[in-house]
Amino acid sequence: MNKALRISFELRNTYRVNAILYSLRQIPIIKRCLPEGLYQVRALKIFANILSALGEVFSMFVWKILYFALMVSGVSTWYDAADETQLFLHLLVFLTILGGFLNGNIFMPSYDKYYAMILLRMDAKRYTLVNYAYMLAKFVIGYIPVAVWFGRRAGLPLWQCLLLVFFALGTKLTVMQHGLRQYRKRGTALDSKKDGYVGMAEMAALAAAAYGLPALGILLPKSLSLAICSVLTVTGLFSAWKIGKFDSYYEMYREILFDFLNQTAAASTMTRDQTRKTISADPQITSSRSGFEYLNELFIRRHRRILWKTSVRITLVCACIVCWA
Amino acid sequence: MKFVVEHLEKHFEKKTVLRDISFTFEKGKIYGLLGRNGAGKTTLFNCLNRDMKMDGGKFYFDHGNGACPTRAEDIGYVLSVPTVPEFLSGREFVKFFLDIHADSLPDPRPVEEYLEAVGIDPQDRGKLMKDYSHGMKNKMQMLINMIARPKLLLLDEPLTSLDVVVAEEMKRLLRALKQDCIIILSTHIMDLALDLCDEIVLLNHGVLESVERENLDSCGLRDKIIAALAEGDHE
């Protein structure tokens, strides 16, 4: 596992660092200052590594601060709740469960996973578990101080603030286990139509419960909120064990990643075809000019739809900015 | 060692693409899977590679002591459109692969030696594979499979879009590889199949049929293949 963790970390880091260096090369002025073989220059790699590490730290804390500030504590000021603590817990319970479904990272296909598991043939189970554990560790490290700070402000004792952290962790694990169980039952990882509708309905209901019920003066009792937190913490422990025992990661990801590649290829073909369709092939579009002017006029007439669309967009944005100013 | 396919079927809704695929492939040979566009060559490979679920049949390795189910590491698949990690350099890609499989490789060599073997120039080895040409990406894909040494290597239209020089290099690599594994390459270019392959297998109307090469000169064999593939046009 240590080796899998090390390689997985190095791979992700190398990929990210190279992407940063590649992005720097796209900036015209900086490009001239960079050496040709920049991906082998140690100083640049160190610089990019520092940027990458800063990005990791940033993502660990900032999103959680924004989440609590905007979606929990910030929103709670809209309601005239008698008990601020009860409102805080109510919002967190529903939003945490909703977040568990929305941030189902493990089932999301990505090129990183394809490269690691399919091209480089890393052991799928080790790769998945190591990356998932890393993601959860990042989550906990970022969540603890933020949950404690906002929770204490809302009047929660410290132990309940920490319970919220394990509740969030347990929810993620429980949802992931649920997904793996669905895969075992159905024999397939994907049922996008069914999952799409069911998933969206569940999420809408949770969002409505989180924000709608307090508007009607209905809040979960504190004891019930804490009970839900405790139950999901315990189910999270059980789920962690089941996740570790699951042994069809390779088959599952094969299916997910194969479909992902096909959909990506189909999407890019569709985009290309749609772009082609907007270019007029009408043979009656012609020009009476000559030389370069002939070519220019023909180009503008045949690409009228593309050119107009871009111009209209730019005009609208400028108009909005001017009106706002 | 043999790779045995028995009664493999694949349907897409009402259309049957693979009807009854049965064949035995032997180690040490390059098989040319010839078929017209839309015959099901890629579908067959996707089924063998388990990227797609079959609707029937089975396949396994036969080492002479009974059927052995295939494992993921037994099968290598080289796609016609090479897919490589774009933000890794060629050197990094090989280094990571060797690192990951350090325990299972019998005779690991230095990274530079592997890159030299497939003809990647020293000045290109440190560049991102995003900037590699189609031929270079193909070579990198092939290199990984050469290092991994799977028992069965599937190549889907392997020399499409490669220039003459790179195509010859790839053929040389394949001929060197075939001793220790079974190679099946799919193509709709007959000249490639006749030049490179030890056996020609036609995929026609959802079934596989071998083409006997004995006692046929090149023209005779070519005509026979065309006649077999064109048969469906008259029905």
What confidence score (pLDDT) does residue A313 get?
87
Structure confidence at residue A291 as a pLDDT band (50, 70, 90): confident
Residues of chain B neighbouring A14 (CB-CB closer than 8 A): 87-88, 92, 96
Helix (H) / strand (E) element for A145: namely: helix A124-153
Which DSSP category does B37 fall into?
Answer: T
Q: Measured between beta carbons, which residues in chain B are less than 8 angstroms from residue A261?
A: 83
Chain A residues within 8 A of B130 when measuring between CB atoms = 22
Report the share of chain A in percent with pLDDT over 70.
94
Q: Is B70 on the interface with A (CB under 8 A)?
A: no
Each residue's pLDDT tens digit, B93-114: 999 999 999 888 878 889 999 9
Residues B32-77 have pLDDT tens digits of 998 888 888 889 998 998 888 888 889 999 888 888 888 888 898 8
d(C-alpha A168, C-alpha A145), whole Å: 14
Chain A residue numbers with beta carbons less than 8 Å from the beta carbon of B46 are: 258
pLDDT digit string (tens) for A137-178? 999 999 999 999 999 999 999 999 999 999 999 999 998 998
Whether residue A119 and residue B85 make contact (CB cut-off 8 A), yes or no, is yes
Percentage of chain B with pLDDT > 90? 23
Chain B interface, best mutation among A13, A26, A38, A40, by max B CB count within 10 A: A40
CB distance A231 to A99 below 8 Å: no
**Chain B touched by A18 (CB under 8 Å):** yes
Q: What's residue B234's pLDDT? A: 46
Which tens digit of pLDDT belongs to each residue from A200-225?
888 888 889 999 888 888 889 999 99
- Cβ within 8 Å, pair A14-B88: yes
Question: Which of the listed ranges A52-56, A104-108, B44-48, B67-71 does the model predict with the highest average pLDDT?
Answer: B44-48
Residues of chain B with C-beta less than 8 angstroms from the C-beta of A114: 83
SS3 assignment, position A76: helix
More confident position, A81 or A75 = A75
- Which of B50, B71, B96 has the most A C-beta neighbours within 10 Å, making it the best mutation to test the interface with A? B96
All residues of chain B having their beta carbon less than 8 Å from the beta carbon of residue A22 are 87, 128, 130
ipTM confidence:
0.79
Distance CA B2, CA B182 (A): 8
pLDDT tens digits for B180-219?
Answer: 899 999 987 778 888 888 888 988 888 888 887 665 556 6
Q: The tokens of A304 are what?
A: 């009228």
Report yes or no: A10 at the B interface, CB cutoff 8 Å.
yes
Which chain B residues in 48-67 lie under 8 Å from chain A, judged by CB atoms?
Answer: 50-52
The predicted pLDDT at position A195 comes to 55
Kindly determine whether residue B126 and residue A19, on different chains, have CB atoms separated by under 8 Å: no
Residue B152 near residue B184, CB atoms below 8 Å: yes
Give CA separation, A269 vs A19, A263, A278, B160, in Å: 25, 10, 14, 19
The amino acid at A90:
H
User: Residue A121 and residue B128: Cβ atoms within 8 Å?
Assistant: no
